[in-house]
Copies of this chain bind each other. A is one copy, B any other.
């Protein structure tokens, strides 16, 4: 694959159920996680569902971080979709794991980009060619 990004796909489990239901707190935590990773916030959207659960997405200059919570299972699905070498998504992960009181986390690193028979890391080009 011609790789343009390596998002982290994270399952945070055995979290604090009250935190997972608190949209304001989660927005604060996710924004702080973005800052700690070195990324730049563009805009965020948070939504609390009835009767429970929160979805939050922070669009960043380097793609996005999203979170969906299932308080009834103490579970949060978090995606750290970042590009470039200046951002460290693991710092965001470590901070969120702590703030959500997660006893465990499972992290998968995906390769994203243009399917190809050879592996290569692509850089952003300064201008469009198309």
A23 CB to nearest chain B CB (Å) = 12
Q: Is the beta-carbon distance between A130 and B45 smaller than 8 angstroms? A: no
User: Beta-carbon contacts of A40-82 to B below 8 Å, as 1s and 0s?
Assistant: 0011110101011101010101011010101111110101010
Q: Is the beta-carbon distance between A122 and B59 smaller than 8 angstroms? A: no
Q: Is the beta-carbon distance between A126 and B51 smaller than 8 angstroms? A: yes
Tell me the nearest residue of chain B to A61, going by C-beta: B49
User: Beta-carbon contacts of A110-130 to B below 8 Å, as 1s and 0s?
Assistant: 101111000000101111111
A20 to B4, CA, bound (A): 16
With A45-B45, A57-B66 already in contact, the answer to whether A74 and B115 are too (CB < 8 A) is: no
Name A's B-contacting residues (CB within 8 A). 2, 4-5, 9, 11, 13, 16-18, 20-21, 42-45, 47, 49, 51-53, 55, 57, 59, 61, 63-64, 66, 68, 70-75, 77, 79, 81, 83, 104, 106, 110, 112-115, 122, 124-130
7 additional A-B pairs beyond A45-B57, A55-B63, A68-B81, beta carbons within 8 Å, are A9-B110, A11-B114, A18-B130, A63-B68, A64-B66, A73-B114, A75-B113
